[in-house]
Amino acid sequence: MSPALTARDAGARELMDDPDADARKLARTYGRFGLVNALVSRPGTLYRRDIRPRAARAGRLRILDVGAGGGDLCRMLAWRLRGDRLDAEITALDADERAIRWASAHDRGAGVRYRRALTTDLVAAGDTYDIVVSNHVLHHLDDAELHTVLSDSLRLTAPDGLVSHNDIARSVTARALFAAVTWPISRTLLADSFIREDGLISIRRSYTVAELASIVPAGWTVRAGVPARLELRWEGGRAGA
Ligand SMILES: C[S@@+](CC[C@H](N)C(=O)[O-])C[C@H]1O[C@@H](n2cnc3c(N)ncnc32)[C@H](O)[C@@H]1O
């Protein structure tokens, strides 16, 4: 691996996390997450493999997205479930008031519930879900936050439920792919947003599959995905955690 990516750069700070970040750029960043996720996160796989089959069994599936940002994953799930005539109650959770304000204002009829809170607040309220997901959040967290989010995820998930935390897997390939995919649109679709700079910082902050596997508690499984992805997964009734 290139020297700059050999070790996780946990000290790197993303521009969007600055409380004084330019509001217009931040709004454009939330607005562009959907495009970036369509290119790199493969949310359709999560939907087809994990969510649709469970929704077909559940009647009304309760889904929690931790660190939902602009809420694009939640809206995509809402529309796909509706298209498949399946019922769900989807909660978009984010610690940042600015994200929740933007996402609530851009629900576009998806019917997602938006909440500014921490997972710990939901645990305290006794909430439970069939599926807890996240995308591009693990690398944001420091060690203590990571362990809190993981233990809260288990407390929030029904015994036969699923937790699926998805993120970038740090590698030279991840950086090269992200740089290549975003370069042609950096002055057009991504202009006036933090997407490209923060994406490159995120890759430096991200875990490799082996690093994450070495620090998570027993019962969690780390899977490698493409392109340059990882999934931290817990399945009720299977993992035994
Ligand atoms: C890079 S964004 C990802 C947004 C969205 N999930 C996506 O894939 O586009 C990370 C989000 O996680 C949120 N976040 C970070 N730590 C959090 C925590 N402990 N609890 C809830 N949200 C958190 C941030 O406020 C930010 O909106």
Please report, for residues 33, 99, 115, 198, 221, the alpha-carbon distance to residue 228 in angstroms, rounded to integers and kept in the order given: 17, 26, 30, 17, 17
Whether 239 has a pLDDT exceeding 50, the answer reads no
- Are 33 and 72 within 8 A, CB to CB? yes
Asked whether 163 and 214 are in contact (CB, 8 A), the reply is no
pLDDT at 238 > cutoff 60: no
- Measured CA to CA, the distance from residue 16 to residue 91 in angstroms comes to 22
Atom of ligand 1 nearest to the CA of 68: 6
pLDDT tens-digit profile of 36-72? 999 889 899 999 999 999 999 988 999 999 999 999 9
pLDDT band at 213 (very low <50, low <70, confident <90, very high): very high
Q: Which residues line ligand 1 (CB under 6 A)?
A: 33, 37, 66-69, 72-73, 93-96, 99, 118, 135-137, 140-141, 145, 149
pLDDT of 1 strictly over 70: no
Instruction: Convert the pLDDT of each residue in 117-175 to its tens digit.
Output: 999 999 999 999 999 999 999 999 999 999 999 999 999 999 999 999 999 999 999 99
Alpha helix ranges (H) inside the chain: 3-6, 23-40, 43-46, 52-58, 72-83, 97-105, 119-125, 143-156, 172-182, 195-205, 209-215
Query: Which of 29, 94, 205 has the most ligand 1 atoms within 8 A of CB, as the residue to mutate?
Result: 94
Counting atoms of ligand 1 from 1, which one is nearest the CA of 36? 9
Q: How far apart are CA 47 and CA 53, in angstroms?
A: 9
Q: How far apart are CA 137 and CA 206, in angstroms?
A: 10
Q: Minimal CA–CA distance to 185: which of 199, 172, 174?
A: 199
pLDDT in the model for residue 26: 98
Q: Domains, the chain, ranges and CATH?
A: 3-235 (3.40.50.150)
The residues, ordered by sequence, that sit 6+ positions from 114 with a Cβ below 8 Å of its Cβ are 68, 71, 91, 92, 94, 100, 103, 104, 107
Average pLDDT over residues 100-122: 98
